[in-house]
């Protein structure tokens, strides 16, 4: 995976060049992940503009999109794939979709998220990635878009580009045959960029008396978060392939097209 230096897009990286077994790798220049594109400016970021993004998949909630709309690269189209729509409809906005609000009030954060509650809530959100109807629809739409014949470069993102986006990358890399160690390493590799993006908020949170451990649990990604989703896949479907076929409704032929398109041989 290659981090792309960008001034107006946080946590931008190309999944290309990630090693796969058998001397293969992910083909570069076709699949990118990032944080939200609300500040994207083509003039300030010619490197990003030159990526030729044709589709942007936005995993955020309606409220997140309304507050900070994407600036889609010229020539690109926006695909809305709200992972948390089901939970929002029942009045349960996950903490992963409201990080900035959670970091704005240390007293509330400690009451609602301290003492290990943040970790528990994130694990719950990751299990919902696998089982909720809106998440299954969102991730199915993401894979179906990648399988489209002649599809151009695609960028997928949520707000910070770590949780909803991290699970999408996990699904894709697993389908491409990446080892569990490679998948987890890619998932965890976003931590430095996310911590940098949220540094000022975290500093303010701690300065107001917030617990650094609570802040870290919110802005970081951890193996146990990913394990919550992977264990749910194993319990309900057995394998990632069956989860994609049965849970996401993506046929085997589409998965094969994704593999053919995104896999390079060294």
What is the reported pLDDT for 192? 92
- Ranges 3-7, 31-35, 185-189: which has the least confidence: 3-7
Per-residue pLDDT band for 138 (boundaries 50, 70, 90) equals very high
Percent of the chain at pLDDT > 70 equals 95
Please state the rounded mean pLDDT for residues 15-31. 96
pLDDT above 70 (res 55): yes
Residue 101: the pLDDT is: 75
Each residue of 97-136: pLDDT tens digit? Answer: 566 777 777 877 777 777 888 888 899 999 999 999 999 9
Residue 89: the pLDDT is 58
Token pair listed for 86:
């089901």
pLDDT for position 25:
97
Report pLDDT for 98: 67
What would the two tokens of residue 209 be?
């008396």
- pLDDT of 91 reads 52
pLDDT of residue 177: 98
Does residue 96 have a pLDDT over 60? no
The CA dihedral of 100, 122, 138, 179, to the nearest 10 degrees, is 120
Which pLDDT value is given to residue 31?
98
In sequence order, which ranges of the chain are alpha helices (DSSP H)?
Answer: 46-49, 62-67, 85-89, 99-103, 106-113, 117-131, 133-147, 164-175, 180-188, 191-197, 199-207, 212-219, 223-236, 240-242, 252-262
As a CATH number, domain 2-258 is 3.90.190.10
Over the stretch 175-234, which tens digit does the pLDDT of each residue have? 999 999 999 999 999 999 988 888 888 888 888 888 888 888 888 999 999 999 999 999
Alpha carbon 29 to its chain centroid, in Å, reads 18
Residue-averaged pLDDT of the chain: 92
Where do the structural domains in the chain lie, given as residue ranges? 2-258
Helix (H) or strand (E) holding 32: strand 31-34
| DSSP strand pairing (55-58 vs 77-80) | parallel
In 31-98, alpha helices (H): 46-49, 62-67, 85-89
Q: How confident is the model at residue 87 (pLDDT cuts 50, 70, 90)?
A: confident
pTM score: 0.93
């Amino acid at each position: 995976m290659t981090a792309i230096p960008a001034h107006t897009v946080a946590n931008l990286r190309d999944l290309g060049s990630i090693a796969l077994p058998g001397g293969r790798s992910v083909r570069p220049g076709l699949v990118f992940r990032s944080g939200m594109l609300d500040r994207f400016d083509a003039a300030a970021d010619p490197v990003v503009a030159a990526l030729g993004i044709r589709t942007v998949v936005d995993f955020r909630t309606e409220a997140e999109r309304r507050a900070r709309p994407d600036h889609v690269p010229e020539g690109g189209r926006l695909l809305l794939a709200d992972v948390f729509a089901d939970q929002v409809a029942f009045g349960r906005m996950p903490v992963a979709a409201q990080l900035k609000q959670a970091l704005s009030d240390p007293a509330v954060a400690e009451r609602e998220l301290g003492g290990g509650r943040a970790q528990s809530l994130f694990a719950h959100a990751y299990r919902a990635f696998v089982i909720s109807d809106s998440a299954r629809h969102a991730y199915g739409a993401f894979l179906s878009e990648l399988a489209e014949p002649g599809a151009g470069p695609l960028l997928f993102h949520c707000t910070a580009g770590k949780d909803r986006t991290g699970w999408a990358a996990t699904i894709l890399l697993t389908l491409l045959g990446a080892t569990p160690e490679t998948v987890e390493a890619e998932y965890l590799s976003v931590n430095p960029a996310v911590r940098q993006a949220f540094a000022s908020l975290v500093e303010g949170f701690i300065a107001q008396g917030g617990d650094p451990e609570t802040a870290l649990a919110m802005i970081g990604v951890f193996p146990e978060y990913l394990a919550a989703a992977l264990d749910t896949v194993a319990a309900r479907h057995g394998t990632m392939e069956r989860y994609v076929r049965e849970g996401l409704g993506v046929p085997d032929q589409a998965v094969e097209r994704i593999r053919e398109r995104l896999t390079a041989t060294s």
